[in-house]
Amino acid sequence: MKKFLIIAFGVLSLIFTGCLKDTPPTNFSNLPPIVEMEYPAGANFSGLGSGLQYFSGGALTYPSSDVSDTAIILINLASPSVEGKEVTGTVGFSQALLSSYNSEGLGLTYLQMPDSDYSIINPNFDIPAGTRIDTVRIVFFPDKISPTSTYLLPLAILTASNYTISGNFGVVYFSTIGNPLAGAYLWDYTRWNAQDSSGSPVTADVGLNTTLLPDNPTQVEVASGYYIGPRYVIDFTNNNGVLSNFSVSFNTADLATMAAAGVTITSGPNILIADSANLIFRFQYIAFNGSGYRYIIDKYYP
């Protein structure tokens, strides 16, 4: 009983002490308004999508055959309450942020994206009084962007009336990864319903259009013709423009999709041709769909 009273007294003492020393909550109403940039698509629509935290979200993965694609940026006035006057400003390319990123050695060294590769539709934003949001659109021209060049476009809030611009979320880093194999290709797809190619193929598609998409400067991916479309992952060594040591595998996520569909790879993928000088590649594999084998050959060329 004595032990219980001692514990109870200690708990009560802590409670009363906490009440006496309790500090009032922080008053956020006095915080100054901050103008920030949001790119929801860069965060899979679950975050701001801007700043270095979402650098990878700004990677441009539009098909190289597209004439134009539009990215939508939100300019947000972050404040305890809406302002009684309009907030105006501009967005555009920031040379300072490009230089800063490259000097920090945070990853690849990027070139400035040429003006001809994009167009900011409305570089001047205007947030009306009593509201928080305006929208900026930037159009990219994928068919003009060099697939072999590594570009960075830090699209930043450059001015915002007399308001503070967010240091963390005032920029979206749009980027492309240059790769000597990346770009548009023609594609021949041939399939035999067997474990070899000794008979006549059941499918022979010639001159299809496809794109070798870069994962990094020495890796590209491209879809196979089989109905699930597993992506070949092509790795190589680049020694001052001389490409060698080619290897091919399947994208692991695609293998999981195939397994879920009851399809297994029984052989390959194998390299039949890897001619980097003429950009000709030919790969082969065998798949089993649970009832029959499929012998597949995919050829990619300019």
Helices (H), the chain: 2-21, 95-104, 252-260
CA angle 224, 228, 232 (to 5 degrees): 30
Q: Please give the structure tokens belonging to residue 138.
A: 């930037």
pLDDT in tens, 35-89: 999 999 999 999 999 999 999 999 998 888 899 999 999 999 998 888 888 999 9
Residue with tokens 């023609």: 186
**Residue 183: pLDDT band by 50, 70, 90 thresholds?**
confident
CB 214 within 8 A of CB 147: yes
CATH topology of domain 32-176: Immunoglobulin-like (2.60.40)
CB 228 within 8 A of CB 263: yes
State which CATH number among 1.10.10, 3.40.1350, 3.40.50, 2.40.128 fits the domain covering 183-301. 2.40.128
Q: Is pLDDT above 70 for 28?
A: no
pLDDT in tens, 115-141: 999 999 999 999 999 999 999 999 999
How many distinct helices (H) and strands (E) make up the chain? Answer: 3, 18
Domain boundaries, the chain: 32-176, 183-301
Rounded distance, CA 179 to CA 181, Å?
5
Report the half-sphere exposure of 279 (CA within 13 A, side-chain side).
14
